[in-house]
Amino acid sequence: MSGLSQQQIDHLSQLIDKRWAREFSEIRSLIANMGELRQRIALGERPSDASDEALLHSLSAIDAAQVRQNVRDVQDIVAARQRIAACKYGICTDCGSDIGYERLLAYPTAKRCINCQRGHEERKARDAGRPG
């Protein structure tokens, strides 16, 4: 069990639910925008000049990256809900120590304590810098 009280878990669970709703409304509006652009292009509606076309192109690229980020956030939320259901929420998945209420208030989907998260990010940065 984590060091969290039931009230603390309930509160964090509400934060997670709010985040969930926000992520999905963002995803929905991004997809709606992309769909609208595609539809216009499919209907043969061309942007009035080349610079608009270039703008349109980069906008849709940004949207796709944003949707991917939103989807990752949703996956984190799903994992956090599973940890709540399994009474493992608030416990670091790496070292098993308490994540801490303050950290969870800032990052309700955090699965690592601050020390392990730092180590994880250092490893990730090292791996990203590795050639090949």
Contact between 15 and 86 (Cβ < 8 Å): no
Cβ proximity to Zn ion, 70 vs 109, nearer residue: 109
Contact between 112 and 76 (Cβ < 8 Å): no
- Identify the residue among 94, 98, 107, 119 touching Zn ion (CB under 5 A): 94
Binding-site size for Zn ion (CB under 5 A) equals 5
Helix (H, G, I), strand (E, B) or coil at 97: coil
Contact between 88 and 106 (Cβ < 8 Å): no
Contacts of 27 (CB under 8 A, 6+ apart): 67, 70, 71, 74
92 binds Zn ion (CB under 5 A): yes
114 binds Zn ion (CB under 5 A): no
Binding piece for Zn ion, criterion CB under 5 A, among 12-20, 42-50, 68-76, 109-117: 109-117
116 binds Zn ion (CB under 5 A): yes
In the complex, the residues that contact Zn ion under the rule CB under 5 A are: 92, 94-95, 113, 116
